[in-house]
Structure 1
Amino acid sequence: MKQSNEKFSGVVRCLRVEDLPRIQQMVGKLAEHHGDVATVTLEELARDVLGASPWVRILVAELSGDVVGYAALCPLAQMQFGARGMDLQHLFVEEHARRLGAGRALIKASQARARAEGCKYLSVGTHPDNVMVHGIYPAMGFDPLDPPGPRFRINLSETAA
């Protein structure tokens, strides 16, 4: 993949309330890309990304007044080290805006946001088949990590018995 050496000519900024429908659309596109169907409602999205202490922090890339991408950051902790971290949970750029530097600008802004919140690290996971990004993150200073050990989950929804 040819990487852009151009500086992004748009802006990266924090999410605004009026961005929510656009973010919801892009979340759906990213889910579809991964073979999922996004079911998040605008109300659920607002609950998670707005307010004084949001569960998820959203940064948006804006180009000529249009939101063309977003990064979703989720808090992490390594309590034994007293280390806060952030996980770059979602990174999405609309197809027409790719290779213009928006993704790199979102990653750099994510690093700055994590630092501003007192984080010692920023992590990101990618799908093994997403070979397009396998060189991008190391080129931006990210170190590869070994896969985590076994993980488990329990369904806590009301419909679970």
Structure 2
Amino acid sequence: MTAIIRKAAEQDLDAVADLFDQYRRFYGRPADLARARAFIGERMRRGESHLLVADLGDGRLGGFVQLYPGFSSVAAAPVLILNDLFVAPDCRRLGLGRQLMEAAQQTGRETGAVYLTLSTAVDNHAAQALYESLAWVRDRDFFHYEWMTGIAP
């Protein structure tokens, strides 16, 4: 299936919020549509991310990818952090994830990012296969660490 991959617009907020809530549940968070809507709405209003959607052309969105701008001190250049990629369960295996990833890569080129980076769960083999098929390389030189502030998400 070929979707139209485009920047999310204000009228997409409710649909994207629903997808974002499903994404959060996929990663073990409780359903909270109000929180999802507030978070996505704020990112859109502030222009804090590149939020691309897969428009199925029938009034539905099949998925989204969200990239956050950042910087590499070592490269002394801008980068993009691919923080979120989600395809609705009924739209999986249709190529939407690949289309969204290709659009994310194009966004990186268009914005002058020297690289895009992402993290995924170690058991998310479907996502890993997609990334590797698009020439993403798993980092073997660095470990990913987190430090929790104690502030509840």
Task: Give the TM-score normalised by structure 2.
Answer: 0.86
Q: Is the Cα contact below 8 Å between 1:75 and 1:85 reproduced in 2?
A: yes
SS across alignment from 2:136 = coil
Q: Which structure's CA Rg is the greater one?
A: 1
> Which residue of 1 is the match for residue 95 of structure 2?
101
Corresponding residue number in structure 1 for 2:26: 33
CA contact (8 A) 2:7 2:52 kept: yes
Partner of 2:40: 45
Structure 1 residues 34 and 41: CA distance shift in structure 2, 3 A: closer
Q: Deviations over 1:128-150 (max 9, x none)?
A: 11112222211111011135354
User: Any idea what SS the aligned residue of 1:96 has?
Assistant: helix
CA RMSD, aligned part only? Answer: 1.9
- For the residues of structure 2 that align with 1:83 and 1:12, how far apart are their CA atoms? 26
Given that residues 69 and 93 in structure 1 are in contact (C-alpha distance below 8 angstroms), is that contact kept between their aligned partners in structure 2? yes
**Which of residues 125, 128, 131 is equivalent to 1:131?**
125
The corresponding residue for 1:4 is: none
Amino acid of the structure 1 residue aligned with 2:120: T
Structure 1 residue ranges (4+ consecutive) displaced by more than 3 angstroms after TM superposition:
none
Q: What is the DSSP-based 3-state SS (H/G/I as helix, E as strand, rest coil) of the residue aligned with 1:132? A: helix
After the TM superposition, which of the residue ranges 31-40 and 146-155 deviates more from structure 2? 146-155
Q: 1:127 to 1:156 in 2, by over 3 A?
A: closer
SS in 1 for 2:11: helix
Q: What is the count of residue pairs matched by the alignment?
A: 148
SS in 2 for 1:81: coil
**Quick one: which amino acid aligns to residue 68 of structure 2?**
C
Shift of 1:154: 2.8
Counterpart residue number, 2:71: 77
> Given the superposition, is the C-alpha separation of residues 97 and 150 from structure 1 closer, same or farther in structure 2, using an over 3 Å criterion?
closer
Distance 1:104 1:145 in 2: 20
| Deviation of the 1:155 alpha carbon | 5.2
SS of the residue aligned with 1:29? helix
Q: Name the counterpart of 2:55.
A: 62
- The answer to whether the Cα contact below 8 Å between 1:114 and 1:122 also exists between their aligned partners in 2 is yes
Counterpart for residue 154 of structure 1: 149
Residue identity (%): 23
Q: Decide whether the 8 Å contact of 2:70 with 2:79 is kept in 1.
A: yes
Given candidates 16, 22, 28, the residue that maps to 1:23 is 16
Partners in 1 of 2:119 and 2:143 — Cα distance?
Answer: 11
| Structure with the higher fraction of residues in helix conformation | 2
Answer yes or no: is the 8 Å Cα contact 1:48–1:55 preserved in 2. Answer: yes
Structure 1 pair 62–72 and aligned structure 2 pair: CA distance change class (3 A): same
